[in-house]
Amino acid sequence: MSISTILDVAIGISFVFMLLSVIASAVTEAISGFLSLRSVTLRQGIERLLKDRTLTDKVYAHPLIDGLTKDDDSDPSYIPSDLFARALIDAVAGWKDGTDQSRRPERMGLLRGIFAIPLRALRGFFRRLWPKVEGGGEGTTKRAAASLDDFRKRLAEAKDFEEDTRVALTALVSDASVKTLEDASQQIAAWFDRAMDSVSGWYKRTAHTLIAVVGLFASVVLNVDTFLVLDSLNRDAVLRESVATAVAESVKSESAVVKTAAEVTAEQKANANAKPSEVFVDEKKTEELVRKRVVAVKRGLDELTLPMGWPEGRAFFCTPTAEVSCDRRSVPATLGGFGRRFGGWIFTAIAIALGAPFWFDLLNKLINLRAAAPTPEKARPKERTATAEPQPQPSASVVTPVREQESVRPVATRNSAPPPPLS
């Protein structure tokens, strides 16, 4: 296999993986926005930081935090550290002995928070149908700390308060550098920022797992078998060269598909290098943007004449025989054939999980290598001139007409010469 063939195959499969990664990213963003994954992860992280669901509820009910939400049935996706510190100080100062009682965070808090979203939405729907007179909520903080001594005293005397949280906050406000309530607020804000490092890591791992699941789903729904695509590109030279040329021209002209991939790549790189506090900004993208990206990328996949997608009709499974030939896109109705197809789907999902930035950068490098490498069309004329040099030999091209002339000349002399005169 030549270098040009390897580059063409790599360009074709990289382009397919890049487009599939863009689709998976767009679908993941839509799911993340629908499930409020950022806000749920942030609340779970604060619960684990404070180790108390009751105190977390009081912090979220504080007017400084509640004002960050769009309605009463949603949580903010981002909380500034200074607002969190002030809300926590007021929540501790407003702790009610005998009424408030600490509750440890539950396991599987992320799933619990996700399943609570439709329930809160339903509760908000009925609340809008039958509005009630506004009153003070149970978790609303009604008392604010007036001074540092007041906060320290309330923190030490609060009953049914989580001891681990009490110890952590006492250590923060007992530092020698803390002399005012503002100093204590800055210490708590720095503590919150350090905790957000871990929370942002949780969110990134959750989003990465979600992309892998969406990638497997997309590879099955779109029927993208990596092994089948590679085999087609390797065997069919016309298909391989046409796909590689089309991809190179698309990248060079910056088509709509390439622009969409570039946008997704830039966004994912920015998220990867973002600060922990920036991870929870921009809760979700508009549905129109997600739909536009998916449609553009799906059109780019359809333009490639590769064996992807399902055949028309219901021939999803097929058993090839001597009389019947199956569509290569159909799943072979044999154990080995299905295992090979399932392995191709799994390999596609793994490639999608690598992300659009990986395949976008790799595709650009491969196209640059293809442009720098010698093309096979330039090598063919040299081979023709080398084989054509021995042809101008006299034995093959000159001798043949000479023989014809020699064979004709005697005949002409015998027919044209007059007989000798008789004497």
Give residue-wise pLDDT tens across range 13-44: 999 999 899 888 888 888 887 777 888 888 88
In the predicted model, residues of the chain with pLDDT beneath 50 are: 133-139, 283-284, 378-389, 393-423
CB atoms within 10 A of CB 71: 10
Structural domain spans, the chain = 3-33+201-377, 36-196
Please state the pTM of the whole predicted model: 0.71
Please name the helix (run of DSSP H) or strand (run of DSSP E) that holds residue 241, with its range, or none. helix 237-253
Residues sharing a CB contact under 8 Å with residue 121, sequence separation 6 or more, in sequence order: 73
The Cα–Cα gap between 113 and 363 comes to: 39
* The predicted structure's pLDDT at residue 46: 92
The Cα–Cα gap between 52 and 165 comes to: 8
Q: In Å, how far from its chain's centre is CA 396?
A: 66
Residues sharing a CB contact under 8 Å with residue 326, sequence separation 6 or more, in sequence order: 315, 318, 319, 320, 332
Which ranges of 36-180 would DSSP assign to H, the alpha helix? 37-50, 53-61, 63-66, 81-93, 109-129, 148-157, 163-173
Is 349 in a helix, a strand, or coil? helix
* The predicted structure's pLDDT at residue 386: 46
The Cα–Cα gap between 412 and 416 comes to: 6
